[in-house]
Structures are given as C-alpha cells and as structure tokens.
Amino acid sequence: MSVREVLGEEPEVEMAEERYRVIGEILSKVFKGVRPLTLSDLLDKAFLDRYLGIPIFLALWWALFRFTFDVSAFLSDLIDIAFSRLGEFASSLIGNEWWSTFVADGICGGLGGVLVFIPPIFFLFFGLSLLEDSGYLARAAFVVDKALHPFGLQGRSFIPLLLGFGCNIPGVMAARTIPSERDRILTILVNPLITCSARLPIYVLIAGAVLGAYASMGVFTMYLLSMILALLIALIFKALIPYFRGRRAPFILELPSYARPTMRSTLAHMYERGILFLKKAGTIIFLGIIVVWLLSSHPWGAPLDQSYIATLGRLLEPLFRPLGFDWRGAVALFFGFIAKEIVVGTFAIFFGLGEEAGMGEIQRIIVEEGIFTPLTGFAFMAFTLIYIPCVATVGIIYRETNSIKWTLFTVIYGLALAYLIALLIVTIGGLMGVG
C-alpha cells in the first residue's frame, strides 16, 4: 500500500496542510487580535488579482523578453564581429589554405556562433533572478497555473514556453524552475515547437517570395500554429505516453514575502546558471558546428553543390519530393539544424549571391527558378517551424533532460510531426486547388 493510499492525498499536500495547521495553532496562542496587513499583502492584491494577474504577468514577461534579446543584442554583435575579425586575422597568419579555412570558418566561426548566445542567456538569467529574488516568480506560476492545467502543463511551464519565442535555448534552460521532473521534461519536449526569433527571417523570406499580399498573414499563421501545436502536443503526450500519464503532480507553492533583490545575489544567481551553458553546451554545439563545416567543405575545393552536404541533400530529396521541396530545400533544412539563421544564407550561396545578399534578391530568384509555389512555400515554413530544433537546442535538451532517449525523441517526433503537417498542407491545399 502506497503512502498516498494511506493518507488519501498526495504526501506533499498532506505535509503542507499539516505544517500550516501547526503554524496556525502556534500563531493563535502567540498573537491576539487581527493580523496586520503587510506590504506583501497589498502587492498581492494587484499581482494575484483575478482579472489583472495574467495581464500583469504578460506585461512583465514582455519586459523580460525585450530585456533578454534587445538589450543584449549589441554584446552579441560585438562577439560576432570580434570572432569574425579574429578569424580573418588567424587565416592571414596561416599559410596552408585548409588550416586557414578550418581556423577561420570552422573554429572561429563555430566558436563565435556559440558565444553569441552568451549575452541573451546571461541577461535572461539576470532578469529571472530579479523576478525570483523579488518573490514575484512564485506568484507568476500561481497566476497561470489554472490556464495551463487542461493541457497537462503547470504554472511554472509558462515562462519557459514564452521565452522560447525569443530563443529555445533559454526557454529550455528556464524549465529548471519546475521541480516536478515529469512536468519539466514535458515542458522541455514541447519547447522546440515554440517558434524562436531565428525562424522569423525564413518566414519573411519565403512568405515575401511566394505569398504576395498574404505574406504577413502567412507569418502570423506560423506564430499561431506554434502556440496551438505546443499546447496540443503537450496534451497528446500527457494522454499517450505512460511516463506523463497519471495524476498531475500537486502544485504546492509557498508564496514568499516580497523582497528587494540585492545586486550581489542576483549576479551570483545569473553566473551560476549562465556559466552552465558554457561548460556543458559549448562542447556539443562547437563540435556540431565543426562537423557540419567539414561536411560542407569537403571534398576539399569542390563547389558547394558537389560537397558531402549536397550529396546528402540529393539523398534526402526523394523524401522531400512529396512535400514539393527539391535538394536545395533539403540542404537548407539540413543547414538549419545548425542554426535556423543559416537557411537564408544557404539559399543565397546556392544562387551565387553570397551570404550578405539582400532578401529581395533571394526572393526574386526563388520565384524565377520556381523553387517554391505558394503552397509548397507555406509547407516549407511550417516544416521549418516544427522540425528539429537547432543543434544548440538539441545539446541543451540533452543536458537538461540528461537523457539521450528524450533528446532523440524530441528530434524524431519533431521531424515526423513536421513532415505530417507539411504533407497535410500540400495535400489539402492541392485538393482545394491552391497552387
């Protein structure tokens, strides 16, 4: 017989109730009269307001989102430029062409690609630490818990999901605040479905090229689809996967009093959490980027369309044909596994325009060469939204779940779901006569 069966309630709930019963007894013996209202009580009137609680939470989340990605952007640019110049400098010093390209594009490009994630991650954890140390984060989880309950998620899942709109890496990392392992893993698994900001340039490129006057609506649909899929998939996983099935973990939350966060503790929290990104994920991300560089640069001296990556693209082409993507689409998606930003640059390289080519120029060639129709372009956007998250996110998922099983599951279900949705779009669209 389990503890729950004996108590008739979850042990955590029983312990919390008993603790507060004892506290109540002691207080009634020690204090007389009515309890004075504290500043925390007054603030809770607004922060936990039935109608305003969620809007306040969304406003503060929006502020955290802007702080994480906008305020840190100049530091990311600085790192990007510094590594780019370091690469140029290193290649000018090395005589051998292979080694010079390896150091410049592979090591410096790869390392720069990893380190640009550091500012937003540290800024995110600084903001989260501020909210946590002030006592608000516990209230935020309490406020949104009810809304997420029908989808099998809990209050603390909301922050990781919303942060995913900026970047899935901090989104997945923010799931650490969820104590229940089951809820934490479920939140991590659906996080890649939240469309990160890196996917936006792909939507803009393809929608602008093939959707014409409906381009904005096409991009907006991707955001809508992202939210619907994340909640729906959480619900499906909860219902179908035995690990997630069963009673929902009790959501017991002791609301701490509000406090003024100190800079020292906030910075310490930020450092403790942020440094893990460098220690744990840096190696995986870095190695992944090096491997792809090797694949895209070999056979040495061959043009891109004869590289191993292009060979792979042609091997994948039959799989993507039912979706209307040719080998260039397949290779762009493959490069997108490294970082979604690379997809736009990949198309530019295919057209011989260079990575710095304007978006209008790339869109013109996409239309002229008939790479996508409005329907296949929309399917490509949906596929980009759903399929494998970038290599950095996969690395972080592995580190955060500490499970190769869940990491592979995320990659495989993402691919399968992306294929299914893209195929549905192409098939239904085709039946409706959409070109």
Using the rule CB under 8 A, is 266 a contact of another protein? no
Q: How far apart are CA 156 and CA 148, in angstroms?
A: 9
Shortest Å, Cβ 252 to another protein: 23
Amino acid, res. 329: G
Name which of 103, 121, 100 is nearest 112 in CA terms.
Answer: 103
Query: Closer CB to another protein, residue 42 or residue 147?
Result: 42
Shortest Å, Cβ 33 to another protein: 8
The DSSP call for residue 76 is: H
Q: In this chain, which of 58, 284, 411, 423 binds another protein, going by CB under 8 A?
A: 58
Name which of 87, 79, 86, 60 is nearest 121 in CA terms.
Answer: 79
Contact mark string toward another protein, 98..137, x via CB under 8 A: ----------------------------------------
Using the rule CB under 8 A, is 358 a contact of another protein? no
Shortest Å, Cβ 43 to another protein: 5
Q: In this chain, which of 15, 26, 27, 78 binds another protein, going by CB under 8 A?
A: 78
Q: How far apart are CA 32 and CA 38, in angstroms?
A: 17
Q: 398-407 long-range contacts, Cβ below 8 Å, gap at least 24?
A: 398/284, 399/276, 399/280, 399/281, 399/284, 400/172, 400/173, 400/175, 400/176, 400/188, 401/185, 401/188, 406/185, 406/188, 406/189
Query: Closer CB to another protein, residue 13 or residue 56?
Result: 56
Residues numbered 14-53 forming contacts with another protein, rule: CB under 8 A: 34-38, 41-47, 49, 52
* Residue 269 CA: distances (Å) to CA of 62, 133, 164: 21, 9, 21
Among 7-15, 68-76, 159-167, 192-200, the segment contacting another protein (CB under 8 A): 68-76
Query: Closer CB to another protein, residue 85 or residue 146?
Result: 85
The pair of structure tokens assigned to 391 is: 């290599």
Using the rule CB under 8 A, is 147 a contact of another protein? no
Q: In this chain, which of 81, 239, 287, 315 binds another protein, going by CB under 8 A?
A: 81
Alpha helices in 321-403 (DSSP H): 327-336, 342-350, 359-368, 374-386, 391-401
Q: Under rule CB under 8 A, how many of the chain's residues touch another protein?
A: 30
Q: In this chain, which of 12, 14, 16, 67 binds another protein, going by CB under 8 A?
A: 67
Q: In this chain, which of 7, 15, 26, 55 binds another protein, going by CB under 8 A?
A: 55
Shortest Å, Cβ 290 to another protein: 27
Using the rule CB under 8 A, is 66 a contact of another protein? yes
The pair of structure tokens assigned to 394 is: 């996969």
Name which of 414, 425, 353, 4 is nearest 190 in CA terms.
Answer: 414
Query: Closer CB to another protein, residue 27 or residue 252?
Result: 27
Query: Closer CB to another protein, residue 70 or residue 368?
Result: 70
The pair of structure tokens assigned to 188 is: 């991590």
Query: Closer CB to another protein, residue 126 or residue 151?
Result: 126
Q: In this chain, which of 6, 7, 26, 59 binds another protein, going by CB under 8 A?
A: 59
Q: Is 36 exposed, middle or buried (0-12, 13-18, 19+ CB in 10 A)?
A: exposed
Using the rule CB under 8 A, is 56 a contact of another protein? yes
Cis status, amide bond into 318, omega within 30 of 0: no
Amino acid, res. 196: C
Q: In this chain, which of 6, 27, 63, 428 binds another protein, going by CB under 8 A?
A: 63
- Show the CA angle centred on residue 389, arms to residues 386 and 394, nearest 5°: 145
Shortest Å, Cβ 149 to another protein: 23
The pair of structure tokens assigned to 291 is: 């491997």
Query: Closer CB to another protein, residue 170 or residue 218?
Result: 170
Shortest Å, Cβ 371 to another protein: 31
Binding site for another protein (CB under 8 A): 34-38, 41-47, 49, 52, 55-56, 58-60, 63, 66-67, 70-74, 77-78, 81
